[in-house]
Chain A
Amino acid sequence: MSRNQAATAVLGFLLLLLTIGAVVRQSRQPAIVQITPTLTGRPELCLTCHQGIEEISASHPQEAFGCVLCHGGDGLALDADLAHAALRGGSAAETTGNPSDLAVVEESCGGSACHGGTAENGRDHIHRVLTSVQATYAGAIAQVNYAFGQQPDATARWGVFAVQDDVITTNTGVPFLAEFSPGPNAPEAVHVFDQDCQLCHVTAVPLAQPYFFRATGCAACHMVYENDGLYRGGDPTIAKDEPGHARSHQLTTAIPYYQCNHCHNRGNYSLRQMTFLERDDLPGPHSLSAQAQRELDYYQPIAQFTLCEWELDCVDCHTNGEVMGDGDIHSSQREIQYIQCQTCHGTLTALPLLTTIDDPEHPAIISANLNPNYSVTVGDTVIATAQGETFGWVQWDGKRLMETGKVDGRLYEVPLIMGSACQQQPDEQESHYCHECHAYEREIRD
C-alpha cells in the first residue's frame, strides 16, 4: 500500500467515525416540545427541558401565557445558558429567576390588563405592594430613626426604595418616601440597622438558611416554600435535594402559616443590641406530631395565643388589604391592620357584620375562585368588614357561623360572643384581652 493509500484509509476511517458521531449526537437531541401561547402567538420550546413543571396557576394557563411572557428569556434556545440569559429577576443560575421580584414585576406581571391596573378595576396589585409597609419597610425605618433621634416623630419619610403615591385615600397616607440611607452623623445603631436589618421586607433576599426560605416580590407570599426549601414538583431540571426552591411552581392564595413564618416567626430582634436573635428551638424533635410541631412553630417565648391564633392559618384572618396594603404609603403596619376579634365573633349585642352576595362578579366570588378550599356563590351570606372587604370563607348558614380553613379546608364553627359567657367589651379588641381567659396552654407533646 502506498503512503497515499494508507493515509486515505486512515483518514477515511476517521471521517466515518466522525459521521457516526454526528448521527449519534442527532439521535440524542431532545424531543422538541413546542407550545405557542395564545397571548403571545410566538412559539416556545421551554417545555422541552421543563416538561412536567406545574402550571403556575389556573388563572395563568400554560396555553395562554406560556413561559416567556412572565419569565422573559429566550424561549427558542435549548442551551440552558442562552435560554436563561435574559430571564427576568435573575438567571436560573443564581437560583432566583423570579419574575415577580419587585425590580422587574411591572414587566412580568404588570400592564393595565394584568396586575398593573387601577384600584377601580381591582388590578392595582403591584401599586399596592410597592407602597405597602411589607415592601417599603417604612415602619421599622421610621421607628428606628425616631428612637435614635433622627426624626422628630414616627411618620415615615424613607423606605428601602423611593416610592410615591399620587392618590392618597386614608388620613395616615404619606405622599412619598425617599430611599433610606443613614446620615453621616447618625448614631452607630442606625448604621448597623441599615447594614444588618434590611432582610425583613419583600424586596430583600432572605437568609439562606432553613426556615427562612422564600422568594422576593409577589412570590414571597404566593409561592410556598417548605421549611427545608426543597422542591417537590415535577420539573426534572430543578434539583430535588438542593434547598432554596419553592415547593412547586405554583402560585396560591392558600398560603400556609409557615410561609408567613419564614419571615414573621423565626426569631426576634433586639433594638438595644440592634441585632436579630434567631430562634434556636427549630426544628422540633422528629417525634413531634404535626400538631405539636405547629404549636412549636407558633411558639414565641413572650407571646400568648388563643386557640384560633395558632390553629387557623394567618390568612384566615389577615386580609388581602391588610397584607398587600391599601395603596397608600403608611408609617406603620398598625395603620392598616383592622381585623379584630369582633370581625368574626361579634359583640355582646350583635352578630358580626354580614352581607349577602348578590353579584356573580363580587370580589368574594373572584377570591374564592382563586382558592381550592372554599367556594362562594350568589346568595351566600358572608362576613363583611368595616372596610368593605368580605370573608367569603366565613359563612352564616342561618343559625351558625361556619369558617372553612383557606389553607386546609377544615370546617370550624365560629363561637359568637352574643349569647355566650364571654364578657368582652367592644372596645377591648386587642388580643391580650382575649388571652385573659382564652390563652391556650401549649404543651409540646411527643
Chain B
Amino acid sequence: MIPNMSRPNFFEHLHPPTIPAREARFRYTFGLGGMSLLLFLSLVVTGVPLMFVYVPTAVSAGEAIRTITYVAPYGWLLRNLHYWAAVLLVLMGSLHLLRVALSGSYKPPRRFNWLLGLIALLFSLLLSFSGYVLRWDVDTFGALTVGANIVRQTPLVGNWLYELLVGGPLISDVTVVRFYTWHTLGLSAPVLLLLGWHAFRVRRDGGISHKNEIGDERLQNTQPSISTPRSSHLPRISRRELVQREGVAMLALLCLLLGLALFVDAPLAPQVDLVTGPAKAVTASIAAPWFFLWLQALLRHLPPVVAGIIIPLAVIMALALLPWLWDRSETGTAVWLNREGRLAQIVVLLITAGIVFLTAWELWG
C-alpha cells in the first residue's frame, strides 16, 4: 500500500515536520494542553474497566464501588488512577485556560478554538461532578441533592431540567442510570470529539501562538493571516524533537498519576441509605466536590438562583466572550501578559482569584 504522502494523518497533523522552537518551549505552555489530553485518555482507559464492575442502581452502586475498591484485583489502582486523573484534569484544564488567556493565545484566528476548549473544560467539570455522584455515598449524595435542587431553581425550565437530570420527582434508580449514562457516554463522547477537534484546530489555526514569526515587537501591528509565509530563519524544532519532548512530559505526568494513585486513596464515605440519606447528607459540613466548593460558598450567602445559576452563567459568558468582549485586538499576538490583552487578563485573574478565595473560605473559613 502506498502511503498517501500528500495528506498527513492525524498524528502527523498534530506533529508537523517542524514547528517554531518558541512554541515548543516548556515555559511557554507548560505542556498543559497536551497533558490534559493525556489525562482525558487515561480517564477513558481506566474508566472502561470500571464500567464492567459498576452496577448503576441505588442499592448496588455503593456495593459495586466497594467491590472495585477492596475486592477486584487492581480495582483500587484503577479507581485511584481514575480519581487522580480526574482531579488533575480539572486542575490542568483550568491552568491551561489560564495560560491561554494570559498569553493571548485566544486571539484570532484562534477564537473559535478558545470556545471549543472552554466547552470541553465545562463538560469535563460536569463529567467530574457526575463521576463524583456515581460514588454514591453520603457525601456525594449531598452534592447530588444540592446540585439537583439548584437546577430546579432555574427560571421557567427548572422543574423540567430537574426531572431530566433526576429522572423523576425523587432520586431513585433512574437517577443513577441517568448519571451513569451521561458520565460514560453522554458527556465523555462529546469531550473526546471536542478535544480531538481542539487539537486539530491548533495546527489548522497555524500553531499555538501564531505570533508573526519575524518575532519582533515592531511587526505586531501587522495584520496576521494564516497565509503569512513562515520565515525560515527563526529556530525550529523537528517532529522527532517535539515527540521526544512530549514523551518526557507524558512520562512525568504518568509518574505523578501513578504515584498519587499508589499512595493516596480516592475518598469514600459511608453508604447512602435512600430512606435516611438526605437527612444525613444535609448535616454534612462539606457536600460539594472540591472543584465546586466555591459555588457552595456562594450558596451559603446568596439566593440559590444568584449563586447557583446567574453567577456561574455570568462567569461562563465572561470567559466565552473573552476574545470578543475584553480583547478585540486582531493581531494574534500570543505573548505572555501582552499589553493588548490587559483587560482580558484582569478579567480572568479576577475570576481565578474569586474562585480560589471562595474555595479557601469554604475549606478553612
Please report A residues at the B interface, Cβ cutoff 8 Å.
Answer: 2, 4-5, 7-8, 11-12, 14-15, 18-19, 21-22, 25-26, 29, 32, 34, 42-43, 45, 74, 76-79, 82, 85-86
Contacts and interface: CB of A to CB of B under 8 A. Distances in A.
A45 B254 contact: no
A4 B268 contact: no
A76 B67 contact: yes
Nearest to A5: B244
Given A11-B248, A22-B77, A74 B67 contact: no
A289 to B, nearest CB: 51
B248 A22 contact: no
Nearest to A43: B63
Contacts of A85: 269-270
B271 interface: yes
Contacts of A11: 248, 251-252, 255
B241 A4 contact: yes
A32 B270 contact: no
B66 interface: yes
Contact of A19 (B69, B258, B268): B258
Contact of B270 (A19, A42, A74): A74
Contacts of B8: none
Contacts of A76: 62-63, 66-67, 70, 271
B73 interface: yes
A18 B73 contact: no
Given A15-B258, A22-B77, A8 B66 contact: no
B312 interface: no
12 contacts: A4-B248, A7-B248, A15-B255, A19-B258, A21-B262, A22-B74, A22-B258, A25-B77, A34-B71, A45-B71, A74-B270, A79-B268
A43 B60 CA distance: 11
Given A26-B76, A29-B76, A43-B63, 17 more contacts: A2-B244, A4-B244, A8-B251, A11-B255, A14-B251, A15-B251, A18-B255, A18-B262, A22-B74, A22-B77, A26-B73, A42-B63, A74-B66, A76-B66, A77-B268, A79-B268, A86-B271
Contacts of B269: 82, 85
Nearest to A84: B270
Nearest to A30: B70
A45 B70 contact: yes
Contact of A8 (B62, B73, B76, B244): B244
A30 to B, nearest CB: 9
B77 A82 contact: no
Interface in B182-222: none
B247 interface: yes
Contacts of A8: 244, 247-248, 251
A77 B66 contact: yes
Interface residues of B, number: 29
A15 B270 contact: no
Interface of B: 62-63, 66-67, 69-71, 73-74, 76-77, 241, 244-245, 247-248, 251-252, 254-255, 258-259, 261-262, 265, 268-271
Contacts of B69: 77-78
Contacts of A21: 262
A10 B138 CA distance: 42
A212 B258 CA distance: 51
9 tightest Cβ-Cβ pairs between the two chains A and B: A76-B66, A11-B251, A4-B244, A78-B70, A18-B258, A7-B248, A85-B270, A14-B255, A86-B270
Nearest to B265: A79
B2 to A, nearest CB: 32
Among A2, A8, A42, residue most surrounded by chain B Cβ atoms (within 10 Å) = A8
A63 to B, nearest CB: 20
A74 B136 CA distance: 14
B252 A77 contact: no
Contacts of A5: 244
Contacts of B247: 4, 8
Given A32-B70, A77-B268, A82-B268, A12 B251 contact: yes
Contact of A82 (B258, B259, B270): B270
Nearest to B62: A76
A2 B245 CA distance: 11
Contact of A74 (B248, B251, B252, B271): B271
A22 B254 CA distance: 13
Nearest to B241: A4
A84 B261 CA distance: 24
A86 to B, nearest CB: 5
Contacts of B67: 76
A18 B259 contact: yes
Contacts of A14: 251, 255
B110 to A, nearest CB: 28
B260 to A, nearest CB: 10
B66 A15 contact: no
Contacts of A18: 255, 258-259, 262
A86 B245 CA distance: 50
Nearest to B280: A86
A26 B70 contact: no
